[in-house]
Every structure is written in structure tokens, then in C-alpha cells.
Amino acid sequence: MQRPKLKLHGGWAFGHTLQLVIIEENQYAGSAMVQEILMMTIEKAMAQCRDRGDPCPDTIVIVGDNTVKELKNTVNLSYAASLVLHSKVRFASFVIY
């Protein structure tokens, strides 16, 4: 019997929420999945702030290591830009190390 092979993706809004997604190895995990995890994490953090009556953060810094090619594309850059454009946040930045 062979052990299942899984991928683990996650999004962490420090002080607010940790979203983990476990998928099977053969399931596609491209930029759409990375964007979905980003959206789930940001939306949950903002909902928690609203529920507690706290102000939502006005700055979002998205951090990833240099191996996450799905994070470095126009889809996710456009998503971050749309958050600023629609006044959801004042500033959005990517840090790739």
C-alpha cells in the first residue's frame, strides 16, 4: 500500500486567521488556487474585524518565497491592485524572498 501524496497550501493573516488547504498531488494547484486562498484569507480577516467592531487593516503585504511561481503573475498582481482601486485597502504589496 502506498501512502497518499498531498500538497499543503496556506494563507495567514497575522493576528486574524490561518487558512490551510490540503489537496491531492494530482490536483491542479496553479495561480487560481493561490488567488482563491488569498481571497479567502483576506475576506475572513476583514469579516472578523467587522464582527469585532475593529477597523480593517489598510495595508496588505503578501509574502511568499521565490519558489511560488503562482504568486508572481498578473492575476495576483491584478487582484491586489483591485483591492486598492475599490478602496478595500489603501496599500497592497508583494514581498518575494
Q: What is the pLDDT of residues 2-49, one digit of tens each?
A: 887 888 888 899 889 999 989 888 887 777 888 888 889 999 999 999
> Is 15 part of any domain?
yes
> Is 88 part of any domain?
yes
Look at residue 67 and tell me whether its pLDDT is greater than 70: no
The domain containing residue 30 runs over which residues? 6-96
| Tally of domains in the chain | 1
Q: Measured between alpha carbons, how far is 53 from 83 in angstroms, rounded to an integer?
A: 21
Look at residue 52 and tell me whether its pLDDT is greater than 80: yes
> Is 1 part of any domain?
no
For 82-86, what is the mean pLDDT?
Answer: 90
Q: Measured between alpha carbons, how far is 28 from 46 in angstroms, rounded to an integer?
A: 28
Task: State residue 66's pLDDT score.
Answer: 67
Look at residue 68 and tell me whether its pLDDT is greater than 70: no
The pTM for the full model equals 0.80
Q: Measured between alpha carbons, how far is 11 from 45 in angstroms, rounded to an integer?
A: 11
- What are phi and psi for residue 84, nearest 5 degrees? -75, -45
> Is 13 part of any domain?
yes
